[in-house]
Amino acid sequence: MATKAIPVGYQGVPGAYSHMALLQYFQGQEVQAENFVLFEDVVQAVAEGKVRYGVLPIENSSTGGITDVYDLARRYSIFIVGEKILKIEHCLLAYPGTCLENITEVYSHPQGFSQCSLFFKEHPVMRQFNYFNTAKAAELVAEKKDPHMAAVAGVQAADQYGLEILARGINTNKSNYTRFIIISREQELVPEADKITLIVSLKHQPGSLYRLLAHFAQQNINMTNIESRPYPGRPWEYYFHMDITGHLTDPAVQEALQQLPEDTTECKILGNYPADHGKEA
């Protein structure tokens, strides 16, 4: 009997970095990749069981956290079950035969533009237009065939849409990586899990963040990331999206987590999963 393909959702179109992360993470498995327009569309599809997994970018080594995804992770009942770190190399893509000197309009996702700020500083004639994502911008340029248009996207998008690479590796930081999370509506806990992601809201008291961090420090637990986000409906109050190392069955982790209610009004564990150590450093 043939194995049924695993439905996996991602934001964008074929050739997007999210699509590339999906293929690499599920390499060797039969998957049915389904693309969506928005990050929230992916999360909704996972939460409603329309796809088993979703792939979303959550952090870039050059521009930091992707705040929309942090907020969606808090709002929906989903779990993080894995991650994939992907090296990002942006290129300037145009319809074949286009000259670099003729480009006046460039389309891409805002993250793509922000990661290529130096290139556009050196080419001020190029106006930047925000688009859904990098691969969708490449698709647009391929459709328009306009000799004055270009897109910021990856080599895979050039291959996908038959575009010419006018400039390769235009991202300012040459060590440019994006961390993608794999989400599911079911929690999955495997023995090799070594990263825990959680969301906490602190009591509005002096020293509450200090005491929260002390719980992890006292148990010798490493915190690899912390981001603050505005709490909806509560002006000037924030919740924190945190990554720590460890496994939920570790006594030290259990002890630290048991102490959190003393200083928090909300504590939600989003997942415990194997970190991608390939390019994390």
Q: Which one is predicted more confidently, 244 or 263?
A: 244
pLDDT class for 234, splitting at 50, 70, 90?
Answer: confident
Phi/psi of residue 228, each to 5°? -100, 140
**Helix boundaries (H) for the chain:** 17-25, 39-47, 67-75, 110-114, 117-122, 134-144, 155-161, 208-218, 251-259
Q: What's the Cα-to-Cα distance from 146 to each of 107, 142, 154, 232, rounded to whole Å?
A: 12, 8, 19, 43
Task: Report the DSSP pairing between strands 223-230 and 6-11.
Answer: unpaired
User: Nearest-CA neighbor of 75 among 98, 47, 111?
Assistant: 47
Is the pLDDT score of 1 beyond 60? no
Alpha-carbon distances of 194 from 40, 191, 277, rounded to whole Å:
27, 9, 10
pLDDT at 280: 46
User: What value does the mean pLDDT take over residues 251-266?
Assistant: 93
Token look-up 């048991």 returns: 258
Sign of the alpha-carbon dihedral angle for 116, 229, 19, 135: negative
First to last CA, the chain: 42
Measured CA to CA, the distance from residue 93 to residue 83 in angstroms comes to 28
Enter the tokens of residue 234: 């509560």
Residues 273 and 245: their CA atoms lie apart, in Å, by 10
- For the cut 70, the answer to whether the pLDDT of residue 33 exceeds it is yes
DSSP state of 204: S
Quick check: is 216 catalytic? no
Q: Where are the beta strands (DSSP E) in the chain?
A: 6-11, 31-36, 53-60, 64-65, 79-87, 91-94, 105-108, 127-130, 149-153, 164-168, 177-184, 195-202, 223-230, 238-245, 264-273
Is the pLDDT score of 281 beyond 50? Answer: no
Closest CA to 106 of 82, 123, 89, 84: 123
Averaged pLDDT score across all residues of the chain: 94
Out of 98, 178, 197, 264, pick the active-site residue: 178
27, amino acid identity: Q
For residue 277, pLDDT beyond 90:
no
- Calculate ∠ Cα 29-30-35, nearest 5°: 110
Provide the residue type at 172 as one letter: T
Q: Average pLDDT of 92-100?
A: 97
Q: Give me the residues paired with residue 195 across strands.
A: 245, 273
Tokens at 31, concatenated? 């998957």
Q: Is 180 a catalytic residue?
A: yes
pLDDT of residue 278: 73
Which candidate in 180, 216, 240, 264 is catalytic? 180
| Cα 100 from Cα 104, distance rounded (Å) | 9
pLDDT, residue 235, reads 84
Global confidence as pTM? 0.91
Q: What is the maximum alpha-carbon separation in the chain?
A: 64
- pLDDT of 124-158, one tens digit each? 999 999 998 899 999 999 999 999 999 999 999 99
Contact 83/273 with Cβ under 8 angstroms? yes
* Measured distance CA(242)–CA(272) in Å, rounded: 12
What SS3 class is residue 116? coil
